[in-house]
Chain A
Amino acid sequence: MFSWQTQPLTGLNFLGMVIGAVIVLMVVLVVVMYTIYFERKVIGWMQNRIGPNRVGPFGLLQSAADVFKLLLKEDIVPANADRLMFMIAPIIAFVPSFMVLAVIPYTAAHVFTAGLNVGVLYYIALSSISIVGIVLGGWASNNKYSLVGGLRSAAQMISYEIPLGLSILGVIMLSGSLNLNTIVAHQATDRFGWYIIPQIIGFVVFVIAAIAELNRTPFDLPEAESELVAGYFTEYTGFRFAFYMLSEYVYVFAIASLGTTLFLGGWEGPFLPSWLWFALKTSLFIFFLFWVRATMPRIRIDQLMSFAWKVLIPVALFNILLTGALSLIL
């Protein structure tokens, strides 16, 4: 099997890496389009509606039609906005969302994955950069809704980043590595099985913090349309708006992939090929996120902030100490 990781960096290997990265990009774009379709269908069914069913068979081309519609829309920059910042903010938000996918092990063959020894840290560090894009977009729009939406978003995302980081620590303590490939390999041989079993508290904290990081219901306050119109992207139109949406859904895929890798055994599984196992587990994770969205009402901002600091962080710290104590005893 071709693998650029074990070989010296030659022109041919470089070409292979570029092709691998382009394949990841293409797959991600298709996955994101069908994630949006899947979300609309699932929520439609849960609310006793049909969901999109007009464009193409079963509405399968609905998301593609939406993308082309946005591509054809005028790109309006408000006269009062900070023009340069307004224009680059969606790009700053999007680039990290795609970059984090470089370390996710999709298959048993590591052709599409950078086996960084700091994989988990790389993910957490890069995903924080998107917050800059969001605050910048909100500030540069020079619109009160955008500003408040952007600031709320930032406050929420930085607050929930801490429990997210702490919940992963338990996994790292068990596997002794930040490399996502090694973490997957460890789960196959660990005596407790996948880390969702020994790290069940960590997993619960991870899922809650992940939903909040994604600004999704029940934590979608930055986009609370009844008070803030559309939050930080109120002033955005056309394809710039599309890139905010795109980065949001790429993060849905990324965080589901990360959760799969850390807690659900990654691509490990019997009989089926490894990529299919990965796809199944990730789809299950994504389905869960949509299920939560269809079930829960939005919570208030004071509840949101105090939940992160007064519940999730103490629980996550407790989980670290528990993991530490138990792995000393057992």
Chain B
Amino acid sequence: MYGSNFVFVLIFLALGALLPISSLTIIGPLLRPSRPSRAKETTYESGLEPIGDARARFNVRYYLFALLFVIFDVEIVFLYPWAVEYRHLGAFGFVEMLIFILLLVIGLAYAWRKKVLEWK
């Protein structure tokens, strides 16, 4: 039965969650010491007193790459069904995807030209 495959996946999910949760919350506390102290709980900053915290502003570049990622990841999602059916689509499918990829390459070339891909 095909549905069994998804049950198998769910078993993997349950086991994958059970292993860390059980070893961190049930077995772990029995074995490990727990002697918290202020000095131990300070944030590590190369042995110095931490200055401020890490809720600071960070570079906007990360967002640009995230945006590009969304565009190209959606592209891949579109390409997958096409690739599965490629043998049956023949030349028509090829030309169609050529146009689709061409549009995205134009997008990539634009980002390239606008120096979005530079990491300075």
Interface residues of A (CB under 8 A from B): 4-9, 13-14, 17-18, 20-22, 24-25, 71-81, 87, 90-91, 94-99, 101-103, 114-117, 120-122, 124, 139, 141-148, 151, 154-155, 158-159, 161-162, 165-166, 169, 172-173, 176-178, 229, 234-235, 238-240, 243, 301-302, 304-306, 309-310, 313-314, 317, 320-321, 324-325, 327-328
Residue of A at shortest CB range from B119? A302
Determine if A95 and B20 form an interchain contact, defined as CB atoms under 8 angstroms apart. Answer: yes
Query: Nearest chain B CB to A71's CB is how many angstroms away?
Result: 6
In the A-B complex, the 5 residue pairs with the smallest Cβ-Cβ separation, listed nearest first, are: A98-B16, A302-B119, A79-B41, A114-B5, A158-B69
Query: Nearest chain B CB to A302's CB is how many angstroms away?
Result: 4
Report if B40 contacts A (CB, 8 A).
yes
| Docked complex Cα distance between A158 and B61 (Å) | 13
| Docked complex Cα distance between A86 and B23 (Å) | 16
Determine if A169 and B83 form an interchain contact, defined as CB atoms under 8 angstroms apart. Answer: yes
Residue of B at shortest CB range from A310? B117
| Docked complex Cα distance between A142 and B51 (Å) | 12
Question: Could you list 6 examples of A-B contacts with CB < 8 Å?
Answer: A8-B1, A99-B16, A147-B56, A178-B84, A309-B108, A324-B97
Interface size band for B: 35 or more
- Chain B 82-95, CB-CB to A under 8 Å as 1, else 0, gives 01111100110010
The residues of B that contact A142 with a CB separation of less than 8 Å are: 43, 53-55
Determine if B119 and A91 form an interchain contact, defined as CB atoms under 8 angstroms apart. Answer: no
Residue of A at shortest CB range from B94? A324
Interface residues of B (CB under 8 A from A): 1-9, 11-13, 15-17, 19-21, 23-24, 27-28, 31-36, 38, 40-46, 50, 53-56, 58, 61-62, 65-66, 68-69, 72-73, 76, 79-80, 83-87, 90-91, 94, 97-98, 101, 104-105, 108, 111-112, 117-120
A313 and B5 in contact, given A76-B36, A159-B69, A229-B44 (Cβ under 8 angstroms):
no
A162 and B69 in contact, given A94-B16, A240-B24, A310-B112 (Cβ under 8 angstroms):
yes
| Docked complex Cα distance between A313 and B85 (Å) | 22
The residues of B that contact A121 with a CB separation of less than 8 Å are: 80
Residue of B4, B9, B54 near A99 (CB, 8 A) is B9
| Docked complex Cα distance between A90 and B61 (Å) | 26
Determine if B5 and A116 form an interchain contact, defined as CB atoms under 8 angstroms apart. Answer: yes
| Docked complex Cα distance between A325 and B56 (Å) | 50
Residue of B at shortest CB range from A306? B117
Residue of B28, B62, B90, B112 near A71 (CB, 8 A) is B28
Determine if A165 and B43 form an interchain contact, defined as CB atoms under 8 angstroms apart. Answer: no
Determine if A72 and B68 form an interchain contact, defined as CB atoms under 8 angstroms apart. Answer: no
Determine if A147 and B11 form an interchain contact, defined as CB atoms under 8 angstroms apart. Answer: no
Residue of A at shortest CB range from B19? A25
| Docked complex Cα distance between A243 and B20 (Å) | 7
| Docked complex Cα distance between A176 and B90 (Å) | 13
